[in-house]
Structure 1
């Protein structure tokens, strides 16, 4: 057996600053676990920074012994036009997200004071002025100003894939000077090989005129991001080479980019909600069930939900459909006439309202396909479990994730786009055909998924794994070097 990997450091303090959104937190917590597995507590202290009202939720979530401390920053949502008790995206409408992003910029003085006090303590303990490094979500890229002021190392953690990230960056960088051609197509100046259709842009882009808040915020964020010391990204070199090349070019090939994926959850978060879904899956044939979920922030329009329900009935395929709870101002659950009752009576499907144990469902042997919005966390959770994807992207980089998965890897079939009133019409017959294409005797797509599953697994091989090597490169970039510790790195 090969000897375990050796990582060496002097005492350091790593400060993680995630953004309080469901899809942003798991990856940065996985980064904390990687650091902890490499370096013992006496060598590295890991502190998570958040706002005060997010502390209880974080302590109750999947945070484990990797995190040594949680430091709350004072924040008054009502000062920024937000609900008084709201400090995350979980209960906000999408239109309010920009207000939260802007409001978090006001945290810079408090964060600066925290880093200054931390450095004073570390210097007193012999850590030196370089004893603190900051790893931040790109939505709080302004943390680089604090790091520069205080002489700290700084990195950004990107929770999305590289291809989708690069396209979003190019779109915002060129806003509003991106005219569509008469064919409804758009070409990116930095990446002329990439051709986008109007239906692959969220309304945020379509409504941008260069003078509104979204564009101004994104341009501020990008200026900060260019000054970071390193970027770590939740993808794999061999899975996402084109996207990684695009990201590196966007950063001027100066800032090192370290793909350290796949960072996925091993299990579902604990919850007081219980479902009979796993027991029901035990009664189904292997690889026969279609799992359906559009993530924590997305909801289909009522007509789209009805079309999907019709498609499920027409195919007769067993399914588990996780329907997101409607937020303020959003359409309520659609009560299809008899649909749910018929599915239960025939033992053909379950509709789950709210939380669903997604990791456990995807890992179950009866699950044979995933109808997904193609958010990157969901993509990786599906592919690492060997489950092919039916793509229904609805916003942000999800459209480009679906394109890469279908056109490059052949592990996805895109079935529809969008969830807005002006989204293309969804035909239940075409949905049904797509479901059959993936859930039937689709030996080609299943073979490709298993190949990708092995590729992802190999990224963390101790000897020659690309993510293993990238993690070591990241440690060096963050100056996590010198004295002594021995450990084996694994996901």
Structure 2
């Protein structure tokens, strides 16, 4: 493997999971660290993700400091190369990709031996990565791209330390099944806990003290590691050139805080029943809205019109936009937005809090349920009710949206979200300085 050598300074190999929502935080962390210390970064991922990584590098003029390195994942009938990423991947293939990811050990080992980095920063689904690093005498630091509440939950599950995070029996069972499913793809003796235990001195979390301070402290005490928040790592909205977007022009004609932004991230795809429930809720409550509706690979021929209830677009044309893509950061910082109806994915939460927008929680997966509860406890969200394994219903969606946009609850939530936004912005520079200094110290202490 012929890879370029870094200039003087420390070489750091970043190893995120094969998801857009993981890769971008690793790139953002790299970019911010570069402004503080003489690091050189290598971002390791599969071929299908390399183009977006290189686009980020080029867009931020970081070609001399960050390089993409291809991780080899053998194609199969189930997982041809376009499926070597979670972006747009059908949900039923996520476990298959996770299992295939475990076979990249040999490829990753070759990359490590070729680069001989001073530090490896690794993600959640490869507990073997820090073991490999240790066998080469290379320090490794775990960077978890979600928050402290979800990590704390596992430690206090049996003693109810944070009542606001508690799940009902059905939700606990769902979370337990997911954890068992993931642990089953690891080799015997490997578990999630290895990521923490093998991390050198510190663990990095994509969060802020002002947002999750009590959870950070609890998590640190529980795992006996120094937990360092990186800050929200929100991409600069001003770096994109969509000021003249039709959506933004449409939004500018709406009253302040009158519009709900609706998006479920790049990796969750609504079922037909969920689409119908949201559409019904929007018709019942009559809020303005921008709805991002995406489809997985293999369903690109679907159209928004045929997916939505018959006549829906015509009935809401004066107060709603449904689109396959929208400039999310630009929209969230627009004064016309009053709330973000979200699945409570962590990157969406961080963006919403950073721009001071309250969240209407519609969590779809187990970990998101924990974060949705945390947001309610934090005073920045209302959660749409749901009974066990039953789906969401339009009437409940309408009630919560109406309360947040038209009711007093919305005013309270927005004040709290704006307060948190101000604190997060004040803290982020200092938080990144601390992370940069700690990583530099680890590299310096381990250099021969």
Q: What TM bracket, shorter-length normalisation?
A: 0.7 to 0.9
User: Normalising by the residue count of structure 2, what TM-score does the alignment of the two structures yield?
Assistant: 0.85
Of 101, 109, 122, which residue of structure 2 is paired with 1:136?
Answer: 122
The answer on 1:426 being equivalent to 2:392 is: yes
SS in 2 for 1:77: coil
Q: Which runs of 5+ in 1 are unaligned?
A: 1-8, 120-130, 171-186, 483-491
Q: Is the 8 A contact 1:13 1:132 kept in 2?
A: yes
d(CA) in 1 for partners of 2:369 and 2:245? 31
The answer on 1:338 being equivalent to 2:311 is: yes
- Cα deviation, residue 457, structure 1: 1.1
d(CA) in 1 for partners of 2:167 and 2:381? 18
d(CA) in 2 for partners of 1:224 and 1:303? 37
Q: Is the 8 A contact 1:10 1:480 kept in 2?
A: no
SS in 1 for 2:35: helix
Q: Which runs of 5+ in 2 are unaligned?
A: 1-6
Matched ranges for 1:90-109 at <5 A: 90-109=87-106
| 1:151 corresponding residue in structure 2 | 137
Of 240, 243, 267, which residue of structure 1 is paired with 2:212?
Answer: 240
| 2:4 corresponding residue in structure 1 | none
Matched ranges for 1:96-245 at <5 A: 96-119=93-116, 132-167=118-153, 169=154, 188-189=157-158, 192-194=161-163, 195-201=166-172, 203=174, 205-206=176-177, 214-217=183-186, 219-229=190-200, 230-245=202-217
d(CA) in 1 for partners of 2:192 and 2:417? 35
**Shift in alpha-carbon separation, 1:288–1:145, aligned structure 2, 3 A:** same
SS in 1 for 2:83: coil
Matched ranges for 1:307-386 at <5 A: 307-328=277-298, 334-344=307-317, 347-353=318-324, 355-386=325-356
d(CA) in 2 for partners of 1:337 and 1:414? 28
Show CA shifts across 1:141-195 (max 9, x none): 321122111111211111111101333x45xxxxxxxxxxxxxxxx823655453
| 2:251 corresponding residue in structure 1 | 281
- Cα deviation, residue 455, structure 1: 1.5
Of 409, 412, 431, which residue of structure 1 is paired with 2:381?
Answer: 412
- Cα deviation, residue 110, structure 1: 2.4
Q: Count the aligned residue pairs.
A: 427
- Cα deviation, residue 387, structure 1: 0.9
Q: Is the 8 A contact 2:359 2:381 kept in 1?
A: yes
Q: Is the 8 A contact 2:9 2:39 kept in 1?
A: yes
User: Normalising by the residue count of structure 1, what TM-score does the alignment of the two structures yield?
Assistant: 0.78
- Cα deviation, residue 250, structure 1: 4.3
SS in 2 for 1:71: strand
Q: Is the 8 A contact 1:202 1:394 kept in 2?
A: no
SS in 2 for 1:369: strand
The answer on 1:65 being equivalent to 2:61 is: yes
Matched ranges for 1:8-47 at <5 A: 11-39=9-37, 43-47=38-42
| 2:438 corresponding residue in structure 1 | 473
Q: Is the 8 A contact 1:154 1:478 kept in 2?
A: no
SS in 2 for 1:104: helix
The answer on 1:399 being equivalent to 2:386 is: no
Q: Is the 8 A contact 2:118 2:446 kept in 1?
A: no
Q: Is the 8 A contact 1:21 1:89 kept in 2?
A: yes
- Cα deviation, residue 27, structure 1: 0.9
Q: Is the 8 A contact 1:258 1:474 kept in 2?
A: no
**Shift in alpha-carbon separation, 1:108–1:284, aligned structure 2, 3 A:** same
Q: Is the 8 A contact 1:61 1:269 kept in 2?
A: no
d(CA) in 2 for partners of 1:207 and 1:18? 20
| 1:51 corresponding residue in structure 2 | 46
Show CA shifts across 1:16-54 (max 9, x none): 112221211121111101221012xxx422111122343
Q: Is the 8 A contact 2:13 2:121 kept in 1?
A: yes
Q: Is the 8 A contact 1:301 1:331 kept in 2?
A: no
d(CA) in 1 for partners of 2:241 and 2:19? 18
Show CA shifts across 1:231-279 (max 9, x none): 111011231123223432442x1x322111111111289699x962111
Task: Provide the aligned C-alpha RMSD in A.
Answer: 3.1
SS in 2 for 1:454: helix
| 1:452 corresponding residue in structure 2 | 420
Q: Is the 8 A contact 1:369 1:390 kept in 2?
A: yes
- Cα deviation, residue 307, structure 1: 2.4
Show CA shifts across 1:282-338 (max 9, x none): 111121111111111223332332222222122221111111214448996632121
Q: Is the 8 A contact 1:202 1:396 kept in 2?
A: no
